Copies of this chain bind each other. A is one copy, B any other.
Amino acid sequence: MKHKAPLKLSLEGQDPATTVNQKVYQSLRHALMCGEIPPGRALTIRELASTLEVSPMPVREALRQLAAESALEIQGNRRVLVPKMTAMKFQELLEARVALESHAAERAMPYIDSACLAELERLDALVDTAYDRGDHAQVSICNQQFHRTLYSSNPHQVTVALIESLWLQLGPFMRLATAQLAGHYQIDRHNEALDAIRRRDAFALRLAISADIRDGIGFVTSSGLFQDVIEPRTNSAPL
């Protein structure tokens, strides 16, 4: 069994005004974010190039770019693969998200004007309707847009790139989590966040964002329902 599952990728729907490199990058990024490429899957330049019907060149650059964002992993063999996930790593990614995003939210607070607030309310509404529709992919996208808009309101902000790297690393699992969320009724943390913003209460905003992140995918570790995607327990013996 050496034949890996064929990759389901295409450049359709990509902005034709951009470079091929960017189209490949976006395509791969989207596939990773949606978990369409299983962890541990090896990616070769020529395979991707022929799948996407482009020359190897833009693929090389896209892979290197994604590797620099920790979305892909290049091992010593110079082979590129989708990083595997472990329960511990998942926990670390989650806590890193909390630390970084609550920080970014707090620092964004002073810059949130009424226009930005309105935009956040609009995005929150989009999340809700997508949620009611059961469109988990859309929920995920709008939710990210909500967070991105919030943090980006700080014009001197430097953390969004880092945060996006974290999103990318646990992308597949966020999708998985939102899908599972359908059953649960969750407190609307976005509303808590919006309330905090209206009251200009930075600390409350911190709490709301932290809770939102943990509510969103935090329970996944305990639910144990994604054991198939996760690496079997490693034999690490710390300390």
Q: A92–B239 contact, CB under 8 A? A: no
Q: A239–B100 contact, CB under 8 A? A: no
Contacts of A210 in B (CB 8 A): none
Chain B nearest CB from A233 CB (Å) reads: 12
CA distance A157 to B88 in the complex (A): 9
Chain B nearest CB from A160 CB (Å) reads: 10
Least CB separation from A70: chain B residue: B161
CA distance A96 to B104 in the complex (A): 8
Contacts of A95 in B (CB 8 A): 103, 107
Chain B nearest CB from A152 CB (Å) reads: 12
A227 at the binding interface (Cβ < 8 Å) = no
Q: A103–B96 contact, CB under 8 A? A: yes
A156 at the binding interface (Cβ < 8 Å) = yes
Stoichiometry, as copies per complex, reads 2
Least CB separation from A238: chain B residue: B111
Contacts of A128 in B (CB 8 A): none
Contacts of A67 in B (CB 8 A): 65
Per-residue B-contact encoding for A99-113, CB less than 8 Å = 1, 0 else = 110010001001111
A91 at the binding interface (Cβ < 8 Å) = yes
Residue of B68, B155, B169 touching A65 (CB-CB under 8 A): B68
Contacts of A66 in B (CB 8 A): 68
A159 at the binding interface (Cβ < 8 Å) = yes
Q: Within residues 86 to 126 of chain A, which ones have a CB less than 8 A from any CB in chain B?
A: 86, 88-89, 91-93, 95-96, 99-100, 103, 107, 110-113
A162 at the binding interface (Cβ < 8 Å) = yes
Contacts of A156 in B (CB 8 A): 86, 88-89, 91-92
Q: A239–B99 contact, CB under 8 A? A: no
